[in-house]
Chains A and B, each alone.
Chain A
Amino acid sequence: MNRIATLIKQDLLLSWRNGLVISTAVLLVIMGACIYLLPESFDVETAEFVYDASSDKAYETFLRQNGLSNANFVESEDELVAVLNDANQGFGVIYEGPVDDPRITLLTVGNLAEENINVALATLDYSAAVMQGKTLPDQYQIRLLRPPSEPVPVNLNFIPIAIVFEVVLLGFMFGAVMIFEEKQEGINRALRVSPMSTMDYIWSKNILFLAMGLIYGGVLIFLALQFRADYGRILLLIALTTSMMTFVGLGIAVFFNNISEWFFIGVGVLIVFNLPVISYALPTFMPGWITWIPSFPILFGVREILFPTGQTGFYLPLVVQLVIYNLIAFGFGYLAVDRKLMKAG
């Protein structure tokens, strides 16, 4: 234990002097700044204008009764086109003809999503039917299986990504950087003729990066959510992720002599581990293979803990999965470090 403590102190000092601690702190400051500088939501104003060209202005009357104000109405088609052209994004409605046989035209400007246009068309159909006195059957109903969750504020939505991928980077890359420096300096030969064991070597680095990962993650979560987060569960996930990536990072790095040789393999692994970000940003993109990447369940697990949607029963299987990954990563890391670093001629 004394040897591991010595190695941790030494690695901490080297991390500081190599700028690894500073770069982690700078990243933390940037992420913290994002929390306070980004808005909680991006409100894109969608302009809505109506020109009722009918003689009795029945549609305008109907809409006024349902909450629209003077600002939503124009007096001519030319005026409607003009106000829409002035807006970045929006739609306009031209209502013509009698109530029992109306002609409705929808005008759009900007990048309106198809879903929004469909909703607008459905609303127009519905309002026309209501004006005609038709009673629509209750064909659709909504049942909530669990209470609706609060939408995640925009400025906090990136927090799971910032946590998981910085922790992945920390364990995977920083360990490699330290190994390359030691190889360059030939220090391993001196370590190998000391009583230090492979286990001491691996665990000292692991514990250091684990501590850095926990501090980074803990502080970032505190900046984002203060006391509203379940720190125990989230920190356990961070610890298991950092540990796994440190073992993998050390195990891969020993096969290379410097960062140039390591670059393509190392960056390749990092890119693969970052792919689940695509599914996080675009939930419709979730092919089966992406869910097999170990960072996938971690990323969504972290999000569920930080911003619960009511899912239950996911945590324990995730922890068990990560413990298994850690055992495999440790076996790989230990054998690689022992054979390639500690016993190589």
Chain B
Amino acid sequence: MSLIEVKNLYHDYEGQGEYAVNDVSFAIKKGEIFGFLGPSGAGKSTVQNIMTGLLKLQQGQILFKGESVTDLKSKFFNQIGVSFEHPNLYSKLTGFENLKYYGGLFQVPTEDPQKLLEMVGLQGAMHKRASDYSKGMKQRLVFARALINNPEILFLDEPTSGLDPNLASTIKDIIRRKQEEGATIFLSTHNMYIADELCDRVAFINEGVIMALDTPRNLKLQHGQKSVQVEYQENGHVQAEVFSLEKEADRIRFNNLVNTKHLQTVHSQEATLEQTFIKVTGRGLS
């Protein structure tokens, strides 16, 4: 059974018939990491904002465990965690206080703020005011705040934005651990690597419309080339050739090359998620 279902969602900011989100439907299974991949302005934040109640539901349905989220109100908010792309914190409160007071708003058991701060590597700065945090520290604090109520579903908007590779890796590990603990994760991003690495399924959204939805592997296989690029040494020069794995003649030539030449590199040519996105939507992710 799906944990959350979005059905025929539309959103028109100006009320002029120009839809920022146009007939979007998908379902997320419990324990799944679902990626929403699209460039800026594609509609992914709009969808997330409608799902979390930050934007009014104009048309369509959002069901959480089969019930409309508009009817659930505080029951729903007790079970979700939201991490924002742009850090929004009480700058005059310390990291610890930001978590402690936010945790006080929930009617479900909450995590120890200190433990969360340690988890995201902010234990040394827990008693510093948020105004003294760097952008990356604020980003991690916002991420930690999203975990304070042990949410069943986590909405993460660009959770590794502005983080160095080490910290981004820490955040990704936490996301995986939360999944192992049973949490469901809705991840909005334009970062194809994090989506490819973390998501069980991804949806490509462009101009408010879902263009494709599948596992990253399937999407890459469907839209990539089944070919191999080979570099080899010949007459003192490096030569490169691409062989299609679907053409008999190419397969024979490739085997021949493997047996007779000194190969330097062999690369399979399946598409990256970004290439797949470009192919499907006709535009890039940045």
Contact = CB atoms under 8 A, between A and B. Distances in A.
Interface of A: 2-3, 5-7, 9-10, 13-14, 17-18, 181-182, 185-187, 189-197, 200, 343, 345
Contacts, number: 79
Interface string B62-102: 00000000000110011010101010111111000100011
Contact of B84 (A189, A195, A196, A345): A189
A181 to B, nearest CB: 8
A345 B13 contact: yes
A14 B142 CA distance: 19
B86 A10 contact: no
Contact of A185 (B53, B74, B89, B102): B89
Interface residues of B, number: 31
B74 A192 contact: no
Contacts of A192: 53-54
B56 interface: yes
Interface stretch (B103-111, B159-167, B170-178, B251-259): B103-111
Contacts of B220: none
30 contacts: A3-B104, A3-B107, A5-B104, A6-B105, A7-B104, A10-B90, A10-B93, A10-B97, A14-B93, A17-B92, A182-B90, A185-B89, A187-B88, A187-B90, A190-B82, A190-B145, A191-B105, A193-B54, A193-B155, A194-B102, A194-B105, A194-B106, A195-B73, A195-B74, A195-B106, A197-B74, A343-B56, A345-B49, A345-B54, A345-B56
A183 to B, nearest CB: 10
A344 to B, nearest CB: 9
B52 interface: yes
A186 B97 contact: no
Given A2-B107, A13-B97, A189-B54, 13 more contacts: A2-B104, A5-B104, A6-B104, A7-B104, A9-B101, A14-B90, A17-B92, A18-B92, A193-B53, A193-B82, A195-B106, A196-B105, A343-B56
Contact of A195 (B77, B88, B97, B155): B77
A185 B54 contact: no
Contacts of B211: none
B86 A186 contact: yes
B132 to A, nearest CB: 13
B55 interface: yes
A181 B130 CA distance: 14
Interface in B133-176: 142, 145, 155
Nearest to A18: B92
Nearest to B76: A195
Contacts of A189: 54, 84, 88
A18 B93 CA distance: 11
Nearest to A186: B88
A15 B53 CA distance: 29
A195 B107 contact: yes
Contact of A190 (B49, B84, B91): B84
A189 B82 CA distance: 10
Contacts of A191: 105
A190 B142 CA distance: 9
A10 B77 CA distance: 20
A197 B195 CA distance: 34
A200 B106 CA distance: 12
B15 to A, nearest CB: 12
A42 to B, nearest CB: 45
Contacts of A6: 101, 104-105
A191 B55 CA distance: 14
A182 to B, nearest CB: 8
B248 to A, nearest CB: 57
A181 B89 CA distance: 11
B90 A193 contact: no
A197 B76 CA distance: 13
* Complex A-B, nearest 10 residue pairs according to Cβ-Cβ distance, in ascending order: A6-B104, A186-B88, A195-B74, A10-B101, A17-B92, A195-B77, A193-B82, A194-B105, A196-B105, A193-B52
Contacts of B56: 343, 345
A95 B73 CA distance: 91
A57 B93 CA distance: 85
B104 A185 contact: no
Contacts of B107: 2-3, 195
Contacts of A187: 88-90
Contacts of B93: 10, 13-14, 17
Q: Which of B78, B80, B90 has the most CB of A within 10 A?
A: B90
A200 B74 CA distance: 12
Nearest to A9: B101
Contacts of B105: 3, 6-7, 191, 194-196, 200
Contacts of A17: 92-93
A14 B98 CA distance: 11
B102 A190 contact: yes
B43 to A, nearest CB: 14
A14 B92 contact: yes
Contacts of B89: 185, 187, 190
Contacts of B54: 189, 192-193, 345
A174 to B, nearest CB: 15
